[in-house]
Amino acid sequence: MEQTKNMNEETDEKFSENEQTDELKNIIEAAIVVSEEPLTIDRMLSMFTDASKPERATIRELLLELEQDYERRGFELKRIDQGYRLQTREEYSPWLARLSAGRPPRYSRALLETLAIIAYRQPVTRGEIEEVRGVAVSTDIIRTLQEREWVRQVGVRDVPGKPALFATTREFLEYFNLEGLNQLPSLQDIRDMDTIAAELNMTLPLESSEENSGQDDDIGDSESADNQQPDLSGEDSQGDTPLQAETAVDDTRLQQPDHETERKEEKINADPADLNEG
């Protein structure tokens, strides 16, 4: 009889523990849903009093369970930096995009190149970005990246002029769906900006120019014009090289009849009688 009573008490205890675990799991799930940004474990723990605060390891286990619960759902639990958020799965984006009334944002190649240099070489100064790109970086590009909170100033380099140092932000990781910078595509695998966009899960239509990057584009065009070398391939834009055109002119001159010389030859070869008459 005593043994049966103890077994019943243990069963009730386990049932109570399971209920508490399920309730804790629901609380964490609800908190992630309403959070406007990825929720860290520290913020999850801040929801509880000291008396009811669960162990950090317990929360990690529950997060893993939630991730497994969503495996067959249209959304997933995604870790971004040190936080967690619920988001729709990428494979359903073609259908979800049709619900959006606005046009997707468009970014120029110059902006994406600047962002990529900052991401891979951070912290980096504006001068170092210009050295890599080979052209001046428009102030509008840096301003746009900062306004979107993808880039921020993290300090200054200890050199004359104290140039600002730029690095990516947590919002950058969120937007491009990265857990950390270690998930950036390997530089060995990158050939062009289109490949970078694909590796970063970006569906960003690239423009050939940007309205607010006139300085960047003008300098780029000027530099390309200055660096343009003469065409030595044997043909110019009209089919002849300058050397061939000059030779053709000389040949034309040689082929033109010299009327004065012809008149002199006619006088020498003329009949003396005709000359006397003249």
The DSSP annotation for 190-240 comes to --SHHHHHHHTT---PEES--TT-HHHHHHHHHHHHHTPPP--SS--TTSS
Query: Per-domain residue ranges for the chain?
Result: 12-96, 107-222
**pLDDT given at position 250:** 44
Q: Which CATH class is domain 12-96?
A: mainly alpha
Residue 38, SS3? Answer: coil
The per-residue pLDDT for 21 is 85
CA separation for the pair 138, 136 (Å, rounded): 6
Tens place of pLDDT for every residue, the chain, 278 residues?
555 555 545 544 444 567 788 899 999 999 999 998 899 999 999 999 888 899 999 999 999 999 999 998 999 999 988 899 999 998 988 888 888 767 777 888 999 999 999 999 999 999 999 999 999 999 999 999 999 999 999 999 999 999 999 999 988 998 888 888 888 887 766 556 666 666 666 655 544 444 444 445 443 343 434 444 444 344 444 444 443 444 443 444 434 445 555 554 554 455 544 444 44
| 258: helix, strand or coil | coil
Specify the pTM: 0.51
- The predicted pLDDT at position 189 comes to 61
Helix (H) or strand (E) holding 86: strand 83-88
- Supply the CATH classification number for the domain 107-222: 1.10.10.10
Task: Classify residue 96 as exposed, middle or buried by CB count within 10 Å of its CB (0-12, 13-18, 19+).
Answer: exposed
**Do the domains at 12-96 and 107-222 have one common CATH topology?**
yes
pLDDT confidence of residue 193: 60
